[in-house]
Amino acid sequence: MSKKVIGATIILFASLFANAQDQKVNKNKPASIALKGSILNFKKTPQTEGLTVSTPAVGVQFFKGLAPRLDAVINLDLSSLKYPYYVSSKQPKATSNSTYAAVDTRVHLKLGNDDKALLPYAILGIGLAKDAANFTAYAPMGLGLQFKAKQGSFFHVFATHNAEASKLTKMHQNYGISYSFPLKLKEKKAIALPTAPIQADQDDDGVSNENDDCPERSGLLKYKGCPVPDEDGDGINDENDKCPNAEGTVQYRGCPVPDTDKDGIPDDKDACPTVPGLPAYKGCAIPDTDKDGVNDELDQCPTVAGIASNNGCEDLQPKLDNIAAALKFETGQVNIATKSLQGLDSLLQIMTQYPATKLLITGHTDNTGSRKINDPLSLSRAKKVQAYLVKKGLAINRTSILGLADTQPVASNESNKGRAQNRRVDLTIQY
Q: How many CA atoms lie within 13 A of 340 on its CB side?
A: 20
In a domain, 130, yes or no: yes
Domain end marker among 182, 217, 241: 182
For the ranges 34-38, 209-213, 360-364, the lowest mean pLDDT is seen at: 209-213
DSSP state, 278? B
The answer as to whether 347 is a domain residue is yes
Confidence of residue 2 (pLDDT cuts 50, 70, 90): very low
Strand-pair partners of 405: none
Identify the pLDDT of residue 187: 60
Strand partners, 138: 127, 164
Closest CA to 136 of 93, 85, 88, 81: 85
pLDDT at 104 over 90: yes
Residue 1: pLDDT above 60?
no
SS percent in the chain: helix, strand, coil, step 5: 20, 30, 50
Average pLDDT score over residue span 154-165: 95
Looking at every residue in the chain, the average pLDDT score rounds to 89
Residue 243 to residue 236: CA distance in whole angstroms: 10
Mean pLDDT, range 74-97, rounded to an integer: 90
The answer to whether residue 218 sits within a structural domain is no
pLDDT digits (tens, 9 = 90+) for 113-138: 999 999 999 999 999 999 988 999 99
**Is 261 a domain residue?**
no
Instruction: Answer yes or no: is pLDDT of 215 > 70.
Output: yes
Quick one: DSSP state of residue 424?
B
Indicate which CATH number applies to the domain containing 388.
3.30.1330.60
**C-alpha 396: how far from chain center:** 64
Residue 367 sits at the vertex; the CA angle it makes with 361 and 370, to the nearest 5 degrees, is 95
Whether residue 117 contacts residue 91, with contact meaning beta carbons closer than 8 Å, is answered with: no
pLDDT at 276 over 90: yes
Pairing of strands 399-403, 358-363: parallel
Question: CA-to-CA distance for 426 and 381, rounded, in angstroms?
Answer: 10
CATH of residue 167: 2.40.160.20
For residue 341, give its domain range.
317-430
Q: How many domains does the chain have?
A: 2
43 band by pLDDT with thresholds 50, 70 and 90: confident
Residue 328 forms part of a structural domain = yes
**What pLDDT, in 10s, does the model give residues 279-304?**
988 999 899 898 888 998 898 889 88
219 lies in some domain: no
Residues facing residue 129 across a β-bridge: 102, 136
337 domain residue, yes or no: yes
Q: What is the mean pLDDT of residues 406-416?
A: 96
**165 and 126 in contact (C-beta within 8 Å)?**
yes
Q: Pick from 182, 208, 223: which residue ends a domain?
A: 182
Q: What is the pLDDT of residue 18?
A: 45
Say which amino acid occupies 372. Answer: K
User: Lowest mean pLDDT: which of 104-108, 238-242, 357-361, 426-430?
Assistant: 238-242
Q: Please check whether residue 142 is in contact with residue 100, taking contact to mean a CB–CB distance below 8 angstroms.
A: no
Rounded CA-CA distance 103/61 in Å is 10
Threshold 0.85, pTM exceeds: no
The closest alpha carbon to 431, from 362, 351, 361, 363, belongs to 351
Final residue before a domain boundary, out of 130, 165, 182: 182
Q: Is residue 142 part of a domain?
A: yes
Which own/partner pairs from 114-120 qualify as long-range (CB within 8 Å, at least 24 positions apart)?
114/27, 114/29, 114/65, 114/68, 114/146, 114/148, 114/154, 115/27, 115/148, 116/146, 116/148, 117/147, 117/148, 118/145, 118/146, 118/147, 118/148, 119/145, 119/146, 119/147, 119/148, 120/144, 120/145, 120/146
HEC per residue, 218-256:
CCEHHHCCECCCCCCCCCCCCCCCCCCCCCCCCCCCCCC
